[in-house]
Amino acid sequence: MCLSLSIKNSYNDQKDLYITSFVTDINAYLDEDQLSEEDLKNLTKDPTKIGYILAYRLDLSYSLDDLLYYSNCEGSDLLLFTEFFSNHEDYLLTDYLFYIDRVIIKPHYQGHNYGLKALAIFLELFAKQQAVGCHPHPLESSRSKFLRKKYSKQKVRSIMTRYWSKLGFDCYDKKHNILWTDEWCMPSYLEL
C-alpha cells in the first residue's frame, strides 16, 4: 500500500490571505483484494480515493482580531479553536496555526491507520515546526456512530484524544476539547 495526497486550495479573496483552507484527497495504491466492491468495479491504474482531509492554516502575522473575524466566516469549530488560542497567545510562537477540521476515511478502509499516516504526510509537507491542533472527536464516520452507541461522550473523547495524540499532539485542554502541539514534528514511528 502506498498513500498519495491530492491537495486543492485556491486564493480567491482577502480571507485566503488570513486563513487558507486545504481540501486534500487521500489516495492509495491498493491490491485488488484490499479494494471495496464499489472501488473494484471502477478499477483503473490511478490510485483509489479512500478519504479526505480538511484543514485550515491561520497566518499569525495578522492580528488575532482579524483571524477571529475570518474564522467566524468559516464555521463554529474553527472559531472556537481560534478563540482558544487568542486567549493563550503564549502558545503561538510559530508563523502559522493549523487546524485539522476533519479526516474522513471511507468505512471499508478504516482500521488500518490510513488517516493517521495521510495526516502525518500532510503535516510534514505544510506544518512542520508549526502549531497544529484539532477537536479530537469523530464527526461523520461509521466509527463515530459505533463509539457513540457503545460509550459515554466522555469516554469517546478520551478514546479520540489518545488516538490523535499518536500524531504528536501533546497538549490537551479538557474544558475546550482542544488537542494540540505548539511545534509539530513527525513522530519517529510514522517516519517514512
pLDDT at 158: 84
* Closest of 134, 159, 128 to residue 146, by C-alpha: 159
* Residues in Cβ contact with 171 at an 8 Å cutoff, skipping those fewer than 6 apart: 91, 179, 180, 181, 182
Burial environment of residue 48 by CB neighbours within 10 A (0 to 12, 13 to 18, 19 or more): buried
Q: In what order do the strands lie in the sheet with 19-29?
A: 2-8, 19-29, 48-59, 96-105, 131-134, 178-181, 171-173
Q: The cell 491537495 sits on which residue?
A: 7
Torsion angle, CA of 58/62/64/69, rounded to 10 degrees? -80
* Residues in Cβ contact with 3 at an 8 Å cutoff, skipping those fewer than 6 apart: 26, 27, 28, 114, 117, 118, 121
Q: What is the CATH number of the domain that holds 43?
A: 3.40.630
pLDDT at 36: 75
pLDDT at 168: 92
Residue pLDDT tens, the chain, 192 long: 677 888 776 555 666 789 999 999 999 887 777 777 777 767 667 788 999 999 999 999 999 999 999 999 888 899 999 999 988 777 678 999 999 999 999 988 888 889 999 999 999 999 999 999 998 875 555 566 677 778 887 888 888 888 889 999 999 998 888 999 999 999 888 775
AA letter at 83: E
The pTM (predicted TM-score) of the whole model is 0.85
Q: How far apart are CA 101 and CA 92, in angstroms?
A: 19
Its domain, for residue 106, covers 2-190
The Cβ-side half-sphere exposure at 61, using a 13 Å CA radius, reads 3
pLDDT at 9: 66
Task: Please count the structural domains in the chain.
Answer: 1
Q: How far apart are CA 180 and CA 171, in angstroms?
A: 5
